[in-house]
Amino acid sequence: MSTEDLSPRYLDLDRLSAIEQVGLLHESQAEAIAAVQPALPAIAAAVEAAAQRLRRGGRLVYCGAGTSARIGVQDGAELRPTFSWPADKVAFVIAGGEKALLRAVENAEDSGEDGADQIAKLGVGPDDVVLGIAASGNTPFTVAAVETARRLGALTIGVANNAGSRLLAESEHPIFVDTGAEAVAGSTRLKAGTAQKIVLNLFSTAVMIQLGRVYAGLMVEMQPTNAKLRQRAEQMVVKLTGCDAAIAAHALARSGGKVKLAVLVVAGVDVAGAETLLDRSGGSLRAALATVRGD
């Protein structure tokens, strides 16, 4: 596996000064960013397929072990506060269980049976999207989880950093990111981990855009759960409508803090009518506003 290779570039890493060490490590992180570019078509195809399933009420399920599991949880946990993605529409299948997010659980990644069992217990089905993440692409837990999910009819996406791996072969939508040898051989928390995080950033954000949860570059489904976010919601309404802050605040109060509804209220629609418009437009504020304006 290329992620286990020893690179001549880093053989003297331990003999260098701190500034030279961090310089080389930074260089390797830049390589991770570049490695994602060839995978963009595969990511885009996965986004389009996933959005179709999620529109039908499916869940987004992240599967992984070790570093890959932690990166998956980091991505999935942000979907609710950023996009108001329902808590019951995201799930995690983690080798060793939730405790493994804080401390390594020995041999957990080797249990394919556990991966398959966790998928079965979740009741994964045809509307669900199961995303397996593994640098090696051969982690038994993750491969078995994806194999089982695909057999149950779920859409399966695999993210791996080694070509020809089982995870890529078993996934409907394989996403291969060729990060190669690490600065510290086999330490896939480095380049491979960075590339995985970028892939998930691109994938989940694009899916949420496809589902109408972003408008004009703004997170219009954001939950204003604290003072900072309430101010951000107000600023978004001002930016999108041209109204003053007082009108924006009043519209948000009438709309339960929901930015999309508040924008439509400022445009002259009552709250019930705004809810109907958004429902008919599949949650798209752009389409709802076009209806109001007669575009």
Is residue 98 part of the annotated active site? The answer reads no
78 a catalytic residue? yes
Do 43 and 66 contact (CB within 8 A), yes or no?
Answer: no
Q: How many residues does the chain have?
A: 295
Active-site choice (4, 20, 27, 78)? 78
Q: What is the DSSP string of the chain?
A: -GGGPBPGGGTTGGGS-HHHHHHHHHHHHHHHHHHHGGGHHHHHHHHHHHHHHHHTT--EEEEESHHHHHHHHHHHHTHHHHH---GGGEEEEETT-GGGGTS--TTGGG-HHHHHHHHHHHT--TT-EEEEEESSS--HHHHHHHHHHHHTT-EEEEEESSTT-HHHHH-SEEEE----SBSSTT-TTTHHHHHHHHHHHHHHHHHHHHTT--BTTB-TT----SHHHHHHHHHHHHHHH---HHHHHHHHHHTTT-HHHHHHHHTT--HHHHHHHHHHTTT-HHHHHHHHHT-
The whole-angstrom separation of Cα 260 and Cα 270 is 12
Catalytic residue among 20, 27, 48, 109: 109
Report, as residue numbers or ranges, the catalytic residues: 78, 109
